[in-house]
Amino acid sequence: MADDCLFCKIIKGEIPSKKAYEDDLCYAFHDINPVAPVHILIVPKKHILGIQEITEEDSQTVGHMFVVARKLAEEQGLAPGENLERGYRLVFNVGRDAGQSVFHLHLHLIGGRSMSWPPG
């Protein structure tokens, strides 16, 4: 935990959030400024600055974040289905140029509308 970190404060409950999921390794909550009908952030409870700081030690945690994302996507009705029609996007913004604004690792789960590629 880092004292001056927004997401550490959210994990500790010092700042309110709309919880989507929690276990020993991670916490998930709805983004305050959603860019799509579903926009959930999955964060490790351990304070890691971002993908730029992960090590082999974090492999289990980071892998687990993807499993949680897949389950949350299914709960939200975003599973691609037989025809692979629906779907969602999983995003790590790494560094300011990529759009990272909070420096505590977080995986964006975004869905509920069609999306274009490449991103802006």
| For ligand 5GP, the closer CB: 85 or 97 | 97
Going by C-beta distance under 8 Å and a sequence separation of 6 or more, which residues neighbour residue 43? 7, 10, 11, 26, 27, 28, 29, 104, 105, 106, 107
Examine residue 100 and tell whether it contacts ligand 5GP (CB under 6 A): yes
The C-alpha atoms of residue 73 and residue 88 are separated, in whole angstroms, by 7
Active-site annotation holds for 104: no
For ligand 5GP, the closer CB: 29 or 73: 29
| Cβ-Cβ contacts under 8 Å for 55 (sequence gap 6 or more) | none
2 lies in the site for Zn ion, by CB under 5 A: yes
Q: Does residue 42 belong to the site contacting Zn ion (CB under 5 A)?
A: no
37-76: which residues touch ligand 5GP (CB under 6 A)? 41
Among positions 21, 25, 31, 112, the unique one binding ligand 5GP when judged by CB under 6 A? 31
Regarding 101 and contact with ligand 5GP (CB under 6 A), the answer is: yes
Coil, helix or strand for 9?
helix
Residue 33's binding partner, choosing from Zn ion, ligand 5GP, none, with beta-carbon cut-off 5 to 8 A by kind? ligand 5GP
Among 8, 26, 29, 43, binds ligand 5GP (CB under 6 A): 29
Question: Which residues is 27 bridged to in the sheet?
Answer: 22, 43
Beta-strand pair 26-30/19-22 = antiparallel
Which are the catalytic amino acids? 106
